[in-house]
């Protein structure tokens, strides 16, 4: 309710994810870095951002671009120094922006000294820091789990003469959370960063930290005889004991927030994770971004979905966090394709589509997470060969597609659609060479559309996606109902329009977004929500020249926010 001061700072702000490799290079080596981020804080401030989630900046061999951590206490030299990190925390803080660290605690790099020691023998200090198992009598792996990046989740170690478990790539061995010394050390890592003044943590791959006792195999897939590790280990009972301990030891009572990356935690489970006594403040759950997959996130095994499925998924999460808990709203991150292509038809005007989705992102209840470039309407890429791709999962998924009988061309189509590189191309700042991202050669090619899709050009154009983001960010600040108010979906049956009401007792706002390329008329009085009174903002920009009955009509991909009268 308006005037309710019980919400905390991170519930009232907008968060922004920076994929450090691709945001801004300052030293011409072609990789983004900390000084690059420091030089771009104004851009974030203009979007009303109060928290930056930084993807991992720790020392790493970069097999999975930093999600393979070799040393949690040191900054990756590619990105800068600890002094520069401290300067970033300070300078961002001066602008009211807090830095949120990505804690990769399910696994480390195989180059982390904990692992290199662990691999040496079964009788040293680190022996039980990872998950080691003997071979089966025939020399085979302990079970048939398939890692998330494809292939067996077990890797044979010659030196230790045992298998170790890796939920992701073989260079990312899983830590053994059953070992209290491991947990202790991870808490120390988190406390080290809290001492530096960070504003919170994003907890990477967190549902996988607990494995089922006995490590049972699963039903064999007809193609490779394996079973996805996600099905076997995600949210194993007992996991919340670990996470409660983490909360008690590290985060409880501090003015920070935690957001768990918790794929597979459904809205029904949400209360235990983020409820009043939950282990985190928020979790990223993926039901609305993984609508495309049958299971296991295998890119070549897709299923069809409609706008109603998307609306149902979002509404379920909004409802699950209605009474307590809080929702991080997102459509993009560094693991997903760009949202314009994800949620709109191929021929949709990308500027209109980008603005339509922005409206949902910034008007829902929760903390919006903008992913870098989303605010510009950046789109996917299509490169000629699989060899052009950097993302290890793209390469794995390409091979899985071939294994599933697809042709090379078809396999590449799966990569075009879902590659993580789609979201990882350099940020597009201006029209100069390499879009102002670097003066050297960028580590990943710049999207060809940077001449029109870039921050500088868009800032000068009132009709751009970027200008719309800024407008929505201001609008959110001006209307308390958008932060404090309730969420009610209306017109639920529509396959073309997503509409919801945000209400705080003082004001009632209707957000209506047309996801189709056709005009859409609707009747809001039929929902009992009230009567539309006035268009406050429209993504077409001509807010004022429609009146009366025409209020309830949306043009292709149009998004509007209307005030509605409380009394019907
Ligand atoms: C999720 C991260 O977002 C992704 O980029 C990474 O590959 C895996 N976790 C493994 O850490
Ligand atoms: Mg650099």
**566: Cα within 13 Å, side-chain hemisphere:** 6
Beta bridge partners of 499: 490, 512
pTM: 0.97
| Cβ of 148 below 6 Å from ligand 1 | no
Report whether residue 421 contacts ligand 1, using a CB cutoff of 6 Å: no
* 335 Cβ inside 6 Å of ligand 1: yes
318-327, 467-476, 542-551 — which one is most confidently predicted on average? 467-476
Ligand 1: does its nearest atom lie under 6 Å from the Cβ of 64? yes
Give pLDDT, residue 296: 72
Segments of 119-256 assigned E as strands: 132-133, 145-146, 154-157, 162-165, 200-203, 227-228
pLDDT digits (tens, 9 = 90+) for 383-414: 999 999 999 999 999 999 999 999 999 999 99
- Residue 108 CA to ligand 1 center (angstroms) comes to 12
pLDDT digits (tens, 9 = 90+) for 119-170: 999 999 999 999 999 999 999 999 999 999 999 999 999 999 999 999 999 9
Confidence of residue 568 (pLDDT cuts 50, 70, 90): very low
The ligand placed nearest to the CA atom of residue 209 is: 1
Q: Using one digit for the tens of pLDDT, what is the confidence trace for 240-261?
A: 999 999 999 999 999 999 999 9
Q: Where are the alpha helices (DSSP H) in 207-306?
A: 229-233, 239-246, 270-274
Pairing of strands 132-133, 531-538: unpaired
**How many CB atoms lie under 10 A from the CB of residue 541?**
12
Query: Of ligand 1's atoms, which has the minimum distance to the CA of residue 420?
Result: 5
CA of 204 to the centre of ligand 1 (A): 7
Helix (H, G, I), strand (E, B) or coil at 175: strand
In this prediction, what percent of the chain has a pLDDT beyond 90?
Answer: 92
C-beta of 104 in contact with ligand 1 (< 6 A): yes
> Annotated catalytic residue: which of 17, 174, 204, 558?
204
- Dist. CA 90 → ligand 2 center (Å): 20
* Closest ligand to Cα 39: 2
Q: Is the CB of 175 under 6 A from ligand 1?
A: no
Identify the pLDDT of residue 42.
98
CA-proximal residue: ligand 1, atom 11 (nearest): 67
* 204 catalytic residue (yes or no): yes
Output the residue whose Cα is nearest ligand 1's atom 2. Answer: 204
pLDDT grade, residue 3 (50/70/90)? very low
- Mean pLDDT for the stretch of residues 359-364: 98
Q: Which residue's CA is the closest to the ligand 1 atom numbered 6?
A: 67
Confidence of residue 267 (pLDDT cuts 50, 70, 90): confident
Q: For the segment 274-305, what is each residue's pLDDT rounded down to a tens digit?
A: 988 899 999 999 999 999 999 777 999 999 99
The stretches of 419-493 forming alpha helices (DSSP H) are 455-459, 465-478, 481-484
Ligand 1 probe mutation, 21, 63, 64, most atoms within 8 A of CB: 64
Closest CA to 357 of 507, 482, 253, 465: 465
Residue ranges covered by each domain of the chain = 9-107+180-379+452-468, 486-564
3-class DSSP assignment, residue 428 = coil
Cα of 261 vs centre of ligand 1, distance in Å, is: 9
Q: Is 89 in the pocket of ligand 1 (CB under 6 A)?
A: no
Q: Please tell me if the CB atom of residue 205 comes closer than 6 angstroms to any atom of ligand 1.
A: yes
Distance from the CA of 167 to the center of ligand 1, in angstroms? 10
Lowest mean pLDDT among 47-51, 324-328, 390-394: 324-328
**Mean pLDDT, range 214-222, rounded to an integer:** 96
Say yes or no: do domains 9-107+180-379+452-468 and 486-564 share a fold: no
Q: Whose CA is nearest to atom 10 of ligand 1?
A: 67
In this prediction, residue 1 carries a pLDDT of 43
CA-wise closest residue to 564 among 502, 479, 518: 502
Query: Closest ligand 1 atom, CA of 168?
Result: 10
CATH superfamily of this structure's domain 9-107+180-379+452-468: Glycosidases (3.20.20.80)
Which ligand is the nearest neighbour of the Cα of 438? 2
Query: What atom of ligand 1 comes closest to residue 104's alpha carbon?
Result: 11
Ligand having the closest approach to the CA of 103: 1
Q: Is the pLDDT of residue 545 over 80?
A: no
Q: Is 67 in the pocket of ligand 1 (CB under 6 A)?
A: yes
Q: What is the pLDDT of residues 175-200, one digit of tens each?
A: 999 999 999 999 999 999 999 999 99
261 is catalytic: yes
The answer to whether the CB of 209 is under 6 A from ligand 1 is: no
Residue to mutate (ligand 1; options 106, 335, 336, 397; most atoms within 8 A of CB): 335
Ligand nearest to the CA of 259: 1
Fold exhibited by the domain 486-564? Immunoglobulin-like (2.60.40)
Q: How confident is the model at residue 262 (pLDDT cuts 50, 70, 90)?
A: very high
Q: Cα–Cα distance between 303 and 474 in angstroms, integer?
A: 38
């Amino acid at each position: 309710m308006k005037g309710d001061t019980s919400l905390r700072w991170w519930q009232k702000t907008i968060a922004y994810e920076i994929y450090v490799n691709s945001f801004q290079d300052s030293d011409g080596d072609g990789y983004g870095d900390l000084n690059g981020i420091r030089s771009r804080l104004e851009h974030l401030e203009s979007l009303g951002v109060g928290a930056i989630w930084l993807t991992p900046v720790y020392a790493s061999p970069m097999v999975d671009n930093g999600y393979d951590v070799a040393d949690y206490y040191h900054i990756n030299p590619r990105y800068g120094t600890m002094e520069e990190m401290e300067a970033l925390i300070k300078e961002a803080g001066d602008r009211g922006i807090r830095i949120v660290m990505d804690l990769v605690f399910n696994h480390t790099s195989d180059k982390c000294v904990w692992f290199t020691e662990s691999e040496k023998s079964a009788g040293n200090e680190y022996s039980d820091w990872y998950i080691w198992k003997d071979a089966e009598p025939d020399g085979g792996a302990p079970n048939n789990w398939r890692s998330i990046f494809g292939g067996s989740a077990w890797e044979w170690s010659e030196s230790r003469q045992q298998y170790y478990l890796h939920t992701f790539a073989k260079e990312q061995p899983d830590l053994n959370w059953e070992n209290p010394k491991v947990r202790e050390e991870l808490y120390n890592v988190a406390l080290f960063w809290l001492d530096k003044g960070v504003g919170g943590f994003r907890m990477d791959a967190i549902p996988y930290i607990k494995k089922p006792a006995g490590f049972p195999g699963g039903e064999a897939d007809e193609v490779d005889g394996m079973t996805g590790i996600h099905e076997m280990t995600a949210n194993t009972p007992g996991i919340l004991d670990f996470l409660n301990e983490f909360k008690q030891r590290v985060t409880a009572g501090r003015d920070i927030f935690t957001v768990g990356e918790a794929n597979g935690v459904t809205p029904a489970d949400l209360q235990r994770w983020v409820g009043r006594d939950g282990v985190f403040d928020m979790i990223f759950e993926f039901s609305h971004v993984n609508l495309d997959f049958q299971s296991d996130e295998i890119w070549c095994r897709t299923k069809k979905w409609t706008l109603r499925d998307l609306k149902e998924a979002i509404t379920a999460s909004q409802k699950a966090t209605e009474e307590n808990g809080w929702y991080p709203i997102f459509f993009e991150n560094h693991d997903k394709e760009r949202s314009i292509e994800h949620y709109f038809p191929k021929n949709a005007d990308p500027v209109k589509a980008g603005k339509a989705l922005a409206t949902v992102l910034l008007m829902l209840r929760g903390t919006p997470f903008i992913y870098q470039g989303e605010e510009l309407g950046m789109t996917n890429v299509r490169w000629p060969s699989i060899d052009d791709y950097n993302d290890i999962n793209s390469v794995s998924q390409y091979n899985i597609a071939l294994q599933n009988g697809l042709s090379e061309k078809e396999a590449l189509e799966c990569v075009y659609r879902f590659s993580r590189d789609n979201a990882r191309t350099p940020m597009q700042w201006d029209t100069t060479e390499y879009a102002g991202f670097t003066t050297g050669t960028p580590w990943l090619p710049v999207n060809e559309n940077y001449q029109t899709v870039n921050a500088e050009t868009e800032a000068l154009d009132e009709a751009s996606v970027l200008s719309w983001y800024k407008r929505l960010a201001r609008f959110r600040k001006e209307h308390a109902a958008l932060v404090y108010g309730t969420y009610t979906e209306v017109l639920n049956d529509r396959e073309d329009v997503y509409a919801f009401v945000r209400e705080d007792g003082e004001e009632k706002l209707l957000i209506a977004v047309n996801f189709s390329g056709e005009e859409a008329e609707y009747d809001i009085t039929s929902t009992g929500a009230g009567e539309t009174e006035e268009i406050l903002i429209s993504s077409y920009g001509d807010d004022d020249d429609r009146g009366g009955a025409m209020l309830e009509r949306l043009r292709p991909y149009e998004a509007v926010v209307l005030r509605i009268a409380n009394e019907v």
